[in-house]
């Protein structure tokens, strides 16, 4: 990737040593420039990271058959992975807020590379658990630090940068199962080793991002602000974070219902084939990716709270209608829900970063950790309810979740001017 010494974007992703004097005043970002190369780089690394993550659940059936595992044993592999991938994130973010570790990004991806090797070459159930745990540790390291870099390179367009970063992850999550079905399942467990290519590429990209951070980011961070920040009392911060927790619960449990059980719902209610149901699920996932990207720039223009209001209350009537719609309108409604509701995530992350200034790593770790944790818990809980009452009953119940968006009224403003 060529560098341009006169470019206001500054940093480059090549891995050659920097020249002794690169006219730093010309190449360093002035704090008001959205650095496309850097935001794009962390988004691409997010794609590769989440592609590796998404492949693990996709090969559970392969592992179950090969090692004669029961569902409880598969559940333990998933649980250990989810715990390391989610619960470690806030602690890593908190530590790096106080003790910056620029090289943690490529180091964390190297840990993921080790996990891939353990999964590919493991020959026992214990090795599967250890491999999943190691991949989870690498993921927990990646998310808070990469989110921090996206904010540093945003030039004040925090929502746009966060959306671009998250879309990278969504894209990787979509490709993971495709890679598993096309390459790993036909060949076998050893083919997991091909994921090492993705990990190595991500290490190379993140090494370049780290070099940019070391040479240019300190001149960028101080100037990336938008408007006049309002100082909040401890009670306001607690109230805001509580509301964010409620909103995250509503969003990710509802999204989990569609991600994990939409195909079952369509098959049972409308009698479609498995292949047809996958097409409808793809339409929903594509809408989620598009909505995630759109939410950030809109939030930069009209404010975070406005996007949060729209993303929840705008979805509510469609969610309430979907259990009673025919097949065509169910697909249309699912696309609308994916577009609108997914726009909230970037707004929620940036809002939380603004309500707790100076704790970007901690907040990012909590938000991404909540995303993983709530998604996993929601999927498990909804599956149990579906066993008890049926999948159609579950979708009628879930239709009321977006109404929790009314709690947005309790969020304080984060800036005097938005």
Residues 174 and 280 in one domain: no
Give the range among 224-233, 300-309, 351-360, 378-387 with minimum mean pLDDT.
Answer: 224-233
Instruction: Report the distance separating Cα 247 and Cα 316, nearest Å.
Output: 13
User: What average pLDDT does range 357-382 have in this prediction?
Assistant: 67
Query: Are 101 and 207 in the same domain?
Result: yes
DSSP state of 229: B
| Together in a domain, 266 and 378 | yes
Q: Are residues 30 and 142 in the same domain?
A: yes
The pLDDT, as a whole number, for residue 110 is 95
Task: Give me the CATH number covering residue 243.
Answer: 1.20.1250.20
Give the number of other CB atoms < 10 A from CB of residue 327: 14
Question: How do residues 257-287 score in pLDDT, each as one tens digit?
Answer: 787 778 788 888 998 886 677 678 778 877 8
| Mean pLDDT within 386-414 | 86
Is residue 80 domain-shared with residue 203, that is, in the same domain? yes
More confident residue, 171 or 30: 171
Please report, for residues 43, 151, 205, the alpha-carbon distance to residue 1 in angstroms, rounded to integers and kept in the order given.
Answer: 16, 22, 10
Tokens standing for residue 168: 């990278």
Domain end, chosen from 169, 196, 221, is at 221
pLDDT digit string, tens, across residues 174-205: 777 778 777 887 888 888 889 999 999 999 99
303 Rama sector, left if φ>0, alpha if ψ -120 to 50, beta otherwise: left
Higher model confidence: residue 46 or residue 55?
Answer: 46
pLDDT of residue 6: 40
pLDDT tens per residue, range 309-368: 888 888 999 999 999 999 999 999 999 998 888 877 777 777 777 777 766 666 666 666
Domain shared by 209 and 91, yes or no:
yes
Domain region containing 184: 26-221
Residue ending a domain, choose from 196, 221, 246: 221
Domain total of the chain:
2
Domain boundary among 221, 244, 261: 221
pLDDT, mean over the chain: 78
pLDDT digits (tens, 9 = 90+) for 100-134: 788 889 999 999 999 999 988 888 889 988 998 99
pLDDT at 156 over 80: no
Both 170 and 312 in a single domain?
no
Q: Has residue 179 been placed in a domain?
A: yes
* Domain assignment present for 5: no
Give the model's confidence band at 208: pLDDT under 50 very low, under 70 low, under 90 confident, else very high: very high
Indicate whether 418 belongs to any domain.
no
What's the pLDDT at 247? 86
- Domain assignment of residue 31, yes or no: yes
pLDDT value of residue 222: 43
Give yes or no: residues 277 and 394 share one domain: yes
Helices 344-355 and 304-313 sit at what angle, rounded to 10 degrees? 140
Same-domain pairing of 216 and 239:
no
Given a cut of 60, is residue 42 above it in pLDDT?
Answer: yes
Using CA atoms, how far residue 287 sits from 187, 210, 335, in Å, is 32, 32, 6
Distances (CA, A) of 73 to 70, 126, 127: 5, 10, 13
Whether the CB-CB separation of 18 and 211 falls below 8 Å is answered with yes
Looking at the domain assignment, is residue 138 inside a domain? yes
CA distance 229 to 354: 8
CA dist 211 → 33, 105, 153, 247, 408 (Å)? 18, 11, 13, 36, 39
Estimate to the nearest angstrom the gap between the alpha carbon of 180 and the chain centroid: 20
């Amino acid at each position: 990737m060529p560098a341009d010494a006169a470019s206001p974007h500054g940093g480059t992703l090549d891995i050659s040593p920097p020249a002794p004097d690169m006219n730093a005043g010309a190449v360093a970002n002035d704090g008001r420039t959205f650095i496309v190369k850097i935001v794009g780089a962390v988004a691409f690394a997010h794609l590769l990271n989440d592609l590796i993550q998404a492949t693990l659940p996709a090969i559970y059936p392969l592992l179950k058959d090969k090692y004669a595992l029961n569902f409880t044993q598969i559940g333990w592999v998933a649980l250990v992975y989810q715990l390391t991938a989610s619960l470690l994130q806030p602690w890593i973010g908190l530590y790096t807020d106080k003790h910056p570790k620029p090289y943690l990004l490529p180091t964390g991806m190297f840990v993921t590379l080790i996990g891939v090797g353990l999964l590919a070459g493991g020959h026992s159930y214990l090795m599967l658990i250890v491999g999943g745990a190691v991949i989870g540790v690498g993921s927990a390291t990646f998310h808070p630090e990469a989110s921090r870099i996206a904010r540093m390179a945003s030039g004040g367009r925090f929502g746009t940068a966060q959306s671009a970063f998250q879309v990278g992850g969504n894209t990787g999550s979509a490709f993971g199962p495709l890679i598993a079905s096309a390459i790993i399942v036909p060949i076998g467990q050893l083919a997991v080793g091909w994921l090492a290519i993705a990990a190595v590429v991500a290490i190379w990209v993140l090494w370049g991002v780290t070099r940019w951070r070391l040479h240019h980011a300190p001149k960028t961070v101080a100037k990336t602000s938008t408007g006049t920040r309002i100082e909040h009392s401890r009670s306001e911060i607690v109230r805001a974070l509580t509301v964010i927790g409620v909103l995250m619960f509503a969003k990710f449990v509802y999204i989990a219902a569609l991600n994990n059980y939409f195909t079952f719902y369509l098959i049972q209610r409308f009698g479609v084939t498995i292949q047809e149901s996958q097409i409808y699920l793809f339409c929903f996932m594509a809408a989620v990716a598009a909505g995630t990207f759109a939410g950030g720039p809109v939030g930069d223009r009209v404010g975070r709270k406005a996007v949060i209001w729209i993303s929840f209350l705008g979805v509510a009537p469609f969610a309430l209608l979907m259990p009673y719609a025919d097949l065509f309108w169910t697909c249309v409604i699912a696309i609308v829900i994916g577009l609108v509701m997914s726009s909230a995530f970037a707004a929620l992350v940036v809002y939380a970063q603004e309500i707790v200034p100076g704790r970007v790593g901690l907040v990012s770790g909590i938000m991404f950790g909540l995303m993983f944790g709530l998604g996993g818990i929601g999927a498990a809980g909804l599956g149990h309810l579906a066993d008890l009452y049926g999948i159609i009953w579950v979708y009628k119940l879930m239709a009321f979740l977006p109404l929790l968006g009314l709690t947005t009224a309790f969020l304080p403003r984060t800036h005097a001017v938005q």
